[in-house]
Structure 1
Amino acid sequence: MRLLLSACALISLSACSQHPTTMQTSLTPPEFNETRFRQDIQSLSSDKFEGRAPTTQGEVLTLDYLTKAFAAAGLEGANQGSYLQAVPMVSYTASETQQISLGGIVMHHRTDIVLGSRHDNQQVDIKDAPLVFVGYGVNAPEYDWNDYHGLDMRGKIAVMLVNDPGFALPESGKFNGKAMTYYGRWSYKFEEASRQGALGAIIIHDTKPASYPWSVVENSWTGAQQDLVFDKTTQDGRVTVEGWLTMDKAKELFNAAGLSLATLSDRAASSPINVELEKTANITFTNKAEYANSYNVVATLPGSSASDEHLLFTAHWDHIGVDPNKEGDQIYNGALDNASGTAGILEIARQFSLSAKNGAPLKRSVTFIATTGEEQGLLGSRYYAANPLYPLEKTVAVFNLDSTNIYGRTSDYTIVGKGKSELETYLTTAASAQQRIAVSESRPESGGFFRSDHFSFAKYGVPAVFAGGGNEPADEVSKTYRSSMKEKMKGCYHNVCDEYRADWDLSGALQDLGVYYQAAQTLGNSDAWPGYYPGTEFHSLRPAKTTTD
Structure 2
Amino acid sequence: MNKGFILSGALAIGLALPSFAQAPAQVKYANTITVEDLTKRLTYLASDEMGGRDTGSEQGKLAANYLADFYKSLGFAAPVNGSYLQAVALVSAKYTKITLQVGKNKLVENQDFVFIGDGNMPKAAKTELVFLGLVTDENLTKVDVKGKLVGLWAVGVRSNDLVTKVMDAGAAGIVIVSMEGQANFDRIAGRYKTLTDKGRIGFDQETKQRPIFMVSSDKMAQLFGTPVETLKEAAKSTPETIASQKATYQVVKTKSPVEAYNVMGYLEGTDKKDEVIVISSHYDHVGVSSEGEVFNGADDDGSGTVSVTEIAEAFALAAKDGIKPRRSILFLNVTGEEKGLLGSEYYSENPVFPLANTVTNINIDMVGRIDYEYDKEENKDYVYVIGSEMLSSHLKKINEYNNITYSNLILDYRYDAADDPNRFYYRSDHYNFAKHNIPVIFFFNGVHDDYHQVTDTVDKIEFPLMTKRAQLIFHTTWDLANREQKPPVDGTNTRTDR
TM-score (norm 2): 0.78
**Which residue identity does 1:416 align to in structure 2?**
I
Do the aligned partners of residues 332 and 62 (structure 1) sit closer, same or farther apart at CA in structure 2, a change above 3 Å counting? same
Closer, same or farther: CA 275–256 of 1 in aligned 2, 3 Å = closer
1:428 corresponds to? 400
| Aligned mates of 1:147, 1:364 — CA distance in 2 | 58
- 2:441 corresponds in structure 1 to 465
- The AA in structure 1 aligned to 2:211 is V
Pair 1:204-2:198 in alignment = no
Structure 1 residue 415 displacement after superposition: 1.9
Matched, 1:292 2:265: no
Deviation at 1:322, TM superposition (A): 2.4
CA distance in structure 1 between the aligned counterparts of 2:199 and 2:255, rounded to whole angstroms: 9
Paired residues of 1:395 and 1:462 also in contact (CA < 8 A)? yes
The 3-state SS of whatever aligns with 1:453 is coil
Q: Does 1:51 align with 2:21?
A: no
Give the residue type in structure 2 aligned to 1:335. Answer: A
Q: CA offsets, 1:449-476, max 9 Å, x none?
A: 11111112222222223223379xxxxx
Which whole-Å CA distance do the structure 1 matches of 2:463 and 2:287 have between them? 25
Of 444, 462, 487, the residue aligned with 1:529 is: 487
Alignment partner, residue 309 of structure 1? 275
Instruction: Name the residue aligned to 1:481.
Output: none
Match of 1:37 in 2: 38
- The alpha-carbon distance between structure 1 residues 348 and 244, as it changes in their structure 2 partners (threshold 3 A), is farther
How far apart, in 2, do the equivalents of 1:79 and 1:309 lie?
17
Q: Report the equivalent of 2:8.
A: none
Shift of 1:217: 5.4
Asked if 2 retains the 8 angstrom alpha-carbon contact of 1:94 and 1:285, the reply is yes
* 1:11-410 alignment, distance < 5 Å: 21-24=15-18, 25=20, 26-27=22-23, 28-29=26-27, 30-31=30-31, 32-95=33-96, 98-102=98-102, 105-115=105-115, 118=118, 121=120, 125-128=124-127, 130-131=129-130, 133=132, 135=134, 155-157=147-149, 159=152, 161=154, 164=157, 184=158, 199-201=172-174, 204-206=177-179, 214-216=186-188, 218-219=190-191, 222-223=195-196, 224-229=198-203, 231-232=204-205, 235-236=206-207, 238-242=208-212, 244-253=214-223, 256=226, 260-263=230-233, 278-279=244-245, 281-284=247-250, 286-323=252-289, 325-326=290-291, 329-407=292-370, 410=380
Stretch of structure 1 that moved more, 421-430 or 196-205: 196-205
- Matched to 2:218, the amino acid is D
Shift of 1:258: 9.0
Determine helix, strand or coil for the equivalent of 1:206: coil
Contact 1:322-1:331 at 8 Å conserved across structures:
yes
Q: Are 1:440 and 2:413 matched, yes or no?
A: yes
Identity %, equivalent residues = 24
Q: CA deviation at 1:91?
A: 0.6
Q: Deviations along 1:100-136, whole A, 9 cap, x unmatched?
A: 23576543322332215556x4867443264564747
Change (3 A) 1:375 1:468: closer
Are the counterparts in 2 of residues 133 and 277 from structure 1 also a CA contact under 8 Å?
no
Give the secondary structure class of the aligned counterpart of 2:312.
helix
Native 8 Å contact 1:216 1:495 kept in 2: no
In the alignment, does 2:457 pair up with 1:499?
yes
The 2-side partners of 1:307 and 1:533 are apart by: 25
1:373–1:280 CA distance, 2 compared to 1 (3 A) = farther
Secondary structure of the 1:94 match is strand
Q: Which residue identity is paired with 1:453?
A: D
User: Aligned with 2:89: secondary structure?
Assistant: strand
Partner SS, residue 75 of structure 1: coil
Give the Cα separation in 1 of the matches to 2:121 and 2:99: 15
Question: RMSD in angstroms over aligned alpha carbons?
Answer: 4.0
| Cα separation, 2, equivalents of 1:243 and 1:46 | 36
Deviation at 1:515, TM superposition (A): 2.2
Q: Determine which of 364, 385, 392 is the counterpart of 1:415.
A: 385
- Over 3 Å counting, the alpha-carbon distance change for 1:535 and 1:496 in structure 2 is closer
> 5+ unaligned residues in a row in structure 2: which ranges?
1-11
**Residue 455, structure 1, aligned to residue 431, structure 2:** yes
Structure 1 position 418, deviation (Å): 6.6
5+ residue gaps, structure 1: 1-17, 138-144, 165-183, 268-272, 472-485, 540-549
What is the Cα deviation at residue 383 of structure 1?
0.9
| Aligned CA distance change for structure 1 residues 80 and 535 (closer, same or farther; 3 Å) | closer
What amino acid is aligned across from residue 536 of structure 1 in structure 2?
Answer: T
Question: Amino acid of the residue matched to residue 154 of structure 2?
Answer: L
- Mapped to 2, the partners of 1:429 and 1:151 lie a distance apart of 59
* Offset from partner CA, 1:363-411 (integer Å, 9 cap, x none): 1111111111111111111111111111111111111111223238734
Structure 2 CA distance for partners of 1:204 and 1:368, relative to 1, 3 Å: farther
- How far is 1:302 from its partner? 0.9
- Does residue 512 of the first structure (1) align with residue 469 of the second (2)? yes
- Tell me how far 1:85 sits from its aligned partner: 0.8
Q: Distance in 2 between matches of 1:298 and 1:304?
A: 19
Contact 1:304/1:363 (<8 A) preserved: yes
SS in 1 for 2:259: strand
Contact 1:412–1:470 (Cα < 8 Å) also in 2? no
Distance apart, 1:257 and its partner CA: 9.1
Larger radius of gyration: 2
Distance verdict in 2 for CA 1:20–1:455, change over 3 Å: farther
Q: Secondary structure at the match of 1:291?
A: strand
1:384 & 1:516 partners in 2: Cα distance?
Answer: 22
Which whole-Å CA distance do the structure 2 matches of 1:353 and 1:514 have between them? 15
CA deviations 1:317-365 (Å, max 9, x no partner) are: 1122223x32xx4322222212222111111111122222223222111
Is the alpha carbon distance of 1:21 and 1:41 closer, same or farther for their aligned partners in structure 2, counting shifts above 3 Å?
A: same
Give the Cα separation in 2 of the matches to 1:390 and 1:429. Answer: 28
CA distance in 2 between counterparts of 1:296 and 1:275 reads: 53
Q: Return the alpha-carbon distance in structure 2 between the equivalents of residues 401 and 81 of structure 1.
A: 26
